[in-house]
Structures are given as structure tokens and as C-alpha cells.
């Protein structure tokens, strides 16, 4: 047995050694540890919960630099981001493989699931996902577009499919035992202009907008602002529903028709309101 000649003890009681220290059993340290070099943990115990794995921490963890996780990151409660940009893949306009690669096996890059937990909902404005862009400083010049959320599909090759392509899709479904007891929609656009709010001159604010940056390509087919394809089963009952006091209709009046007009549909064309006649019957 060798003497412990490589250990030095200071007047304060601290012990140091310039050599390696190997501990075959458990090392228990009750005070704080300050490690100046890199820490390598060779144990490969997998982590399936917050209390399992090669490294287990009873309290919180503060990290000043970047964190790289090789496989799955599981968060049991809240995940909060206070600044910066959260990126999932890299954006390059038309470079294959620059983002997350999708396939018949990988059909979603991001999934968010929610349910009522088996308890009847009573009130509240519930959202599975929420994003907001607050503009609190007056904008008087410039040309820019603001979006609360954006979806995009870019076609950089010929695509022929019996399915559909959509930048954003909303989906409302009823099961065989479900009942729609209130108004529902696959996609909803909301506009609020409360008392004191202003819609400027020659400005149109809409719940839905059909817009294009460029439609100068070859139109062998047709580009339309609104498309209603044939349902997979059954049929729609009507093209649309308009509430009686929505402001989009006017009371009927007699024009040069057999029985007069029941209602007028108000449509702005190039800033001027036009009236489309509507009838409550297809017969005279």
C-alpha cells in the first residue's frame, strides 16, 4: 500500500491532487461542486422518465449554452420559450433535403394532440394552438405583410395526385355517434373592429381573402378564388349561409322580374357596391 503523497491540504482544509482519482464505490459530496473541465458520463442507461437515465437531477437545470439532444426530448408539463427563433428544419426556397424529410413513413413533422380528458366542457375559449402578433407602435410607411400564422406548400416539380394540396387546412369531423348541436366550420376567419376602432378609407377588412402574388403562368386549367369540389359522399345543402342581419344583404324590392326580388346580395366590385338578385323559390 502506497502513502498518499500526492495530496495537498491547505490551511482552510481543502484537499487537492494533480493526479487522477479513481473511486470504485459510491462518491457522496454534500457541498457544491465546481468542475472546470468537461464532464463525461460513460454510463448508457436509457431515460424513460424524469427519474431514470445515466444522469438524474432532483432539482432544476440551468444551461447557459446550447443543448443538443440526439434522440427524443420529452417534456412532462410546460415548455416555455422567452426569445429567439424556434426552428424545426432549415428553410431553403427550393433545395431538396434542406428541411425535415417526409415520406410514407413520416407523415407529420409536428403533432399536437388534445382532448377533454373525459370531463364535459362547460365554458372557455379553448385552443389547441395559439399564436399572436401584437402591433403596439403606429406604422406610417413601408411595405410588409403580417401574419399570425402561415402555412405554405411550394411546388418545384410536376405533381399529379388524386388528393388535395393546401397551404392550410381546417378539419371538423363528426363520428358516427356524434351530433353537431352548434355552429361548426372547418376554417374560421374572425374580424373585430370594436367601438373606437377605425377602418380607413378605401380599405377592405375581410374574414377571408383570396390573394395571389403572381398568376401569370399558363392556365390550361382555371385559377379560381373559391372552389367547391364534389364531396366524397353526400352533397352540400347550399353554397353558403348568410345571417339575416349580417350586413351582406338588402331587403328585396321589385325590379323587372316576374315576381320581384326576395333579397339582394351586396358585393363590392372595384369599390362600388353591386346587388345580386336572390329568390326564395326557383319558380314564379
Per the CB < 8 A criterion, the answer to whether 66 and 73 are in contact is no
Question: What is the pLDDT, as a whole number, of residue 223?
Answer: 94
**All cell numbers assigned to 184:** 361548426
pTM for the whole thing?
A: 0.73
Question: What is the pLDDT, as a whole number, of residue 191?
Answer: 94
Q: What's the number of CA atoms in the CB half-sphere (13 Å) around residue 14?
A: 6
Contacts of 163 (CB under 8 A, 6+ apart): none
Distance CA 133, CA 136 (A): 10
Q: What's the average pLDDT block by block, 10 residues per block, for the chain (284 residues)? A: 66 78 84 87 92 92 90 88 82 76 89 92 91 91 88 90 91 94 93 95 92 94 93 93 87 64 87 87 74
Question: What is the pLDDT, as a whole number, of residue 166?
Answer: 92
**All cell numbers assigned to 189:** 376567419
Per the CB < 8 A criterion, the answer to whether 52 and 46 are in contact is yes
Amino acid at each position: 500500500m502506497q502513502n498518499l503523497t500526492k495530496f495537498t491540504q491547505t490551511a482552510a482544509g481543502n484537499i487537492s491532487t494533480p493526479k487522477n482519482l479513481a473511486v470504485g464505490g459510491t462518491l457522496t459530496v454534500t457541498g457544491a461542486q465546481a468542475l472546470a473541465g468537461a464532464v463525461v458520463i460513460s454510463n448508457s442507461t436509457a431515460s424513460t422518465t424524469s427519474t431514470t437515465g445515466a444522469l438524474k437531477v432532483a432539482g432544476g437545470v440551468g444551461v447557459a449554452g446550447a443543448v443538443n439532444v440526439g434522440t427524443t426530448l420529452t417534456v412532462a408539463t410546460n415548455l416555455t420559450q422567452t426569445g429567439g427563433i424556434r426552428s424545426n428544419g432549415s428553410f431553403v426556397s427550393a433545395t431538396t433535403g434542406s428541411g425535415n424529410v417526409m415520406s410514407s413513413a413520416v407523415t407529420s413533422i409536428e403533432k399536437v394532440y388534445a382532448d377533454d380528458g373525459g370531463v364535459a366542457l362547460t365554458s372557455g375559449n379553448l385552443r389547441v394552438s395559439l399564436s399572436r402578433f401584437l402591433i403596439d407602435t403606429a406604422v406610417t410607411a413601408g411595405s410588409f405583410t403580417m401574419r399570425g400564422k402561415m402555412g405554405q406548400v411550394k411546388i418545384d416539380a410536376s405533381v399529379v395526385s388524386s388528393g388535395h394540396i393546401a397551404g392550410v387546412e381546417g378539419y371538423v369531423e363528426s363520428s358516427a355517434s356524434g351530433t353537431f348541436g352548434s355552429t361548426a366550420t372547418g376554417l374560421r376567419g374572425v374580424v373585430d373592429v370594436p367601438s373606437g376602432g377605425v377602418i380607413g378609407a378605401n380599405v377592405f377588412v375581410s374574414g377571408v381573402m383570396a390573394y395571389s402574388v403572381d398568376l401569370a403562368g399558363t392556365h390550361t386549367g382555371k385559377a379560381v378564388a373559391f372552389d367547391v369540389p364534389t364531396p366524397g359522399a353526400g352533397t352540400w345543402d347550399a353554397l353558403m349561409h348568410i345571417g339575416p342581419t349580417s350586413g351582406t344583404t338588402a331587403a328585396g324590392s321589385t325590379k323587372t322580374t316576374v315576381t320581384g326580388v326576395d333579397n339582394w346580395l351586396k358585393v363590392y366590385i372595384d369599390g362600388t357596391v353591386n346587388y345580386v338578385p336572390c329568390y326564395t323559390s326557383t319558380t314564379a
